[in-house]
A = this chain, B = another copy of it.
Amino acid sequence: MSKSVCLVLGAGAGIGGTVGKRFAREGYHAVLCRRSDQEGLDRLVAEIRQGGGRASGYLLNAVEENSIEERVAAVEAEIGPIEVAVYNLGAQIGDRALLETRYKAFETGWRMATFGLFRLATALCPAMAARGGGTLLVTSSTASMRGNAGQHSHAAAMGGRRMLCQSLNAEFGPQGVHVVHIVIDGAVDAPDTLGKLLGPERFQALRDTRGRADGLMQPELIAETYLHLARQHRSTWTHEIDLRSFSDRAWWNH
């Protein structure tokens, strides 16, 4: 029997995996996709199942041709219609001066942050519209709102993502597909991304100074907002929302 599915692209130990778990608790079949770390993926799936939820996990390289398209088709054929999709692939490569930003990195940033979303939307939005509705939650970042030194690749990719979200919303909103651009404007307590970017020592230091419960955004709490957005009735939709810690400055103030 088909059941409604929540597909997560970029289901690491931070926002993506945690959102998947949260939706599984609500009865969705969580389909978790990530590029690497089969072990971590299996652990996440097992955790959900042990909690009584339903989940499947797949390694998926989003920059590979057809990877997203085939996964969407397989999920819809084998598990059920995707009701909620979470596009959680980042393209942060840390601050890099222009000359240290290789063409390859710039292109990969776009493939991850912009083109991958376009491909997912192409595979999914018309089908959602034909079914009368669906939700596409797009994790985004400060760099989608403004460029900055060292952010050539990241900001260009995320700025494209934001404008694409608005374009998708304009075409598919009236057809019942809810597209949300979620601006994560601060540090997330996520070992897979921020942790790797900083390295274990600096990440631990940040956790120690900033306070894990307060100064860093907790994926569990972010997931509550994702869930709220997915539950909004179509008469009262949010298209753009920002999230940051009380102790962080908003992007327009730093």
Chain A interface residues (CB < 8 Å from chain B): 97-99, 101, 103, 106-107, 110, 114-115, 118-119, 121-122, 125-126, 143-152, 155-174, 176, 178, 213-218, 221-222, 224-225, 228, 231-247, 249-254
Contact = CB atoms under 8 A, between A and B. Distances in A.
A125 to B, nearest CB: 6
Q: Quick one: copies of this chain in the complex?
A: 4
A160 B149 contact: no
A163 B149 contact: no
Contact of A160 (B110, B145, B165, B176): B110
B156 A161 contact: yes
Given A150-B171, A214-B234, A242-B239, A252 B166 contact: yes
Contacts of A239: 242, 244, 250
B241 A218 contact: no
Nearest to A69: B103
20 contacts: A98-B121, A99-B122, A103-B118, A110-B110, A110-B160, A143-B163, A144-B163, A147-B165, A147-B166, A148-B252, A149-B171, A150-B171, A152-B171, A156-B167, A166-B252, A170-B250, A221-B235, A221-B236, A238-B242, A240-B242
Contact of A115 (B106, B170, B236, B241): B106
B235 A218 contact: yes
Nearest to A129: B98
Contacts of A254: 253-254
Contacts of A158: 163
A167 B145 contact: no
A222 B161 CA distance: 27
Given A156-B160, A156-B164, A240-B242, 9 more contacts: A98-B122, A149-B167, A152-B168, A152-B171, A157-B160, A166-B252, A170-B249, A218-B233, A240-B241
Nearest to A155: B163
A245 B235 contact: yes
Given A147-B169, A167-B156, A174-B247, A235 B213 contact: yes
Contacts of A215: 235
